[in-house]
Structure 1
Amino acid sequence: MMLKLVLSTMALAALAGSAFSQQSERPQVSQCQLIAEGLPHVQYANFTPPASGAPALTLAQVQEDVVITFVGHSTFQIDTPGGISIATDFNGWLRTSRTPDVVTMNKAHSSHYTLTPDPAIGAVLHGWNEAEPGQPIQHRLVVGDAYVRNVPTDIRSWGGAMEPNGNSIFIIEVAGLCIGHLGHLHHELTDTHYGEIGRLDIVMVPVDGGLTLGADSMSRIVKRLRSAVILPMHRRGAPVESFLSMFDGGFDSQISENRGFTVSMRTLPKKPLILVLQGV
C-alpha cells in the first residue's frame, strides 16, 4: 500500500520494503554536483562496448530512456526507466496520465501546489518550510531509480517583499541525467546556488516575462547553466518568441508538435536546444 509522506527537513522515512527513503546521516551522493565540482576539467561519461567475447547488452538491460511530458502551466510529468512517475509544481487539477509516485510543489500561487493531494501519491515535497517559515527546507529523496533533491531560493510575497527560502529548485537525477525545475523563481542565482545545483542536462524555465523574472534575467541564468535541453514553461501573456529572441546562434530552438519527448544521455543534443513543447 502506498503511503503519503509530507517530508520535512532531512526527515527519515524508515519504511521497510518501501521504494521511498529520505536520506539523513549518509545522504545520497549527487552525481550532478560531483561533475559540476570537477569543472573545468570535467570528463563526461561515455559508453564502452563489452570486451570481446563478453555477452552484448540487450535493449531490456539498457534502461536509460526518460519520458518528459508537459502537463500544463509549470507541471511536467517525468517517467523514469524504472517506472517511477514524478510531477513538478503539482496543483491537483492539471491531470497527469497516472497517479505520480512523487510530486513537488511551490507556493507562489495556487496553480503551483495543493494542500489536498491525492492520498495515493507516494511522496509530497513542499518547496518551502511549513514548520519554520523563512528557514530552508531540504529534501533528499531516493525513490526507485530516481533521486530528488532541492535547492531553496527566495520568493516575492504578494506585498512585494522577499521571503527567504520560499521557493525551491527541484532536481531529479535519473539514468545519468540531471533534470532541474526552476519553480517560481523570483531572483537571479548566486554562485552558491549554481554550486548547489551543479550540472543540469535539462532545465524547465518560466518564461512569463515578469511574474517570475524578466526575460533578460532568465536568459542569463539559462546561458550560465548551459543545459543541453531548455524547456520553457509558465508562459503568461508574453509570446514565447520574446524569450527565444534573447539567445544567439549558440542555441537552437524548436517548436514541437508534441507535448512530450523521450530523452537519454545518449540522445542529448550536442548544441543547447530550447524545446517548446505543445501546450506551452
Structure 2
Amino acid sequence: MKPHYLILAVTCLAAFAASDPAEALEQRQRASQCHAIAENMPRATFASFSVAAAPMPAVSEGENVRFTYLGHSTFEIETPGGIIIATDYNGWYRPATTPDVVTMNKAHTTHFTLTPEPDIKHVLHGWSDVPGEKASINLVVGDAYIRNVTTDIRFSYGLGGSQEDGNSIFIFEIAGLCIGHLGHLHYELTDTHYTEIGRLDVVMVPVDGGLTMGADSMSRVIKRLRSSLILPMHRRGPPVNAFVSMFGKDFDIAYAPDDSLTVSMRTLPKKPLIYVMKGVQ
C-alpha cells in the first residue's frame, strides 16, 4: 500500500469511528499538520495519527513569519498574529517586546533562566523536574501551536554520563510552517525522534562543532530532516564554515547582511538553503 493511501485510510477510519460527523471533522483538524506526511525523509515512518494530538491555533490574516537572531541559540519568532516567541531564553538576549512565550533547555545556563520576567505569560521548560518523566508541551498561543520532542543530554562540565530527556526540540506550527529548534542537541536522532518530529520546513541548528555534536554528526541530522531553510546558531569555537563544508551541491548557502528574515510557505526556497545570519558568522 502506498504511503498516501495509508494516510487516507487512517483518516477515513478515524472519521468512521466517531459517532458524529462534525466530531470526526474536528478530530481530523486537530491533528498536527507537521505529522501529516514523513515520506520525504529517508527511512522515516509515519508519525502518530492520534486524533487528540493537537488543538488548532487561531487563524490570522497574514502568512509571514519573522525570525530575528538575538544571540547564542536565542531567536525571536514573530507570528502573523503578533505572538512573540523567544527560543532557549536565558534573560540575556531579549526581544525588544516582552515575549508571549519563551522556551528553555537545561544543558547550560546560557539556555535557560530560573528568573524570567514576570510579564512573560508562557515559560516552557524543555525538561521535567519530576524524576522519570519527560517534558510534554502541547500548547496553543494565538496563531501558534507549540509542542516538543525530548532528547538526552550529557552532564555538564566533564561529569560524565547523561540525563534522559534533558533537552527538548521545540516545534512551532505557524501559518502552515513547521518550524523546529534543536536546542542543545547532544546525540544523533533516532528513527523514533524523526517520526515524532515529522516535517520541518525551517530548522534552527547548533553549529558549535563539539559542545553539542560534531559538524559531521549534526550535518547528518540536517540532511535527513531535509528542511527547506536551515538557520545556524550556537556557534562557539570553530567558524560556521566547518559546518557548511559538510554539505554538497544539494544545499545552497547564503551569508546574510543582517540578523532577521521573513518567510512564508510561498517564499520557502525550493532547494534546501543554509542561511547564515549576521551574528552567527
Change in CA separation of 1:27 and 1:125 when aligned onto 2, cut-off 3 Å: farther
Q: Tell me what 2:124 maps to.
A: 125
TM-score by length of 1: 0.81
Provide structure 2 residue ranges, at least 5 long, that are not aligned to the other structure: 1-27, 43-59
Question: How far apart are the structure 2 equivalents of 1:136 and 1:215?
Answer: 27
Q: Is the 8 A contact 1:135 1:164 kept in 2?
A: no
Structure 1 residues not aligned, in runs of 5+: 1-25, 41-60
Which string of whole-angstrom CA distances, capped at 9 and with x for unpartnered residues, describes residues 195-221 of structure 1? 000000000000000000000000000
Is 1:232 the counterpart of 2:232? The answer is: yes
Partner of 1:254: 254
Partner of 1:267: 267
Tell me which moved more, 157-166 or 176-185.
Answer: 157-166
Q: Is contact 2:41-2:225 (8 Å) kept? A: no
Question: Aligned residue for 1:113?
Answer: 112
Shift of 1:97: 1.6
Are the equivalent residues in 2 in contact too, given 1:207–1:240 (CA < 8 A)?
yes
Instruction: Return the alpha-carbon distance in structure 2 between the equivalents of residues 80 and 96 of structure 1.
Output: 14
Is 2:153 the counterpart of 1:155? yes
CA contact (8 A) 1:203 1:229 kept: yes
Per-residue displacement from partner, 1:140-193 (whole Å, max 9, x unpaired)?
000000000000000000212111000000000000000000000000000000
CA drift of 1:95 comes to 1.7
Q: CA RMSD in A?
A: 1.8
Q: Provide the rounded CA distance (Å) in 2 between the counterparts of 1:258 and 1:117.
A: 27
Task: Output the amino acid matched with 2:134.
Answer: P
The aligned residue for residue 76 of structure 1 is: 75
Runs of 4+ in 1 over 4 A off after TM superposition: 37-40
Task: Give 1:137's aligned amino acid.
Answer: A
Counting matched residue pairs gives 235
Q: Measure, in 1, the Cα distance between the counterparts of 2:85 and 2:162.
A: 29
1:71-110 mapped onto 2 (5 Å cutoff): 71-110=70-109
Aligned to 1:29: 31
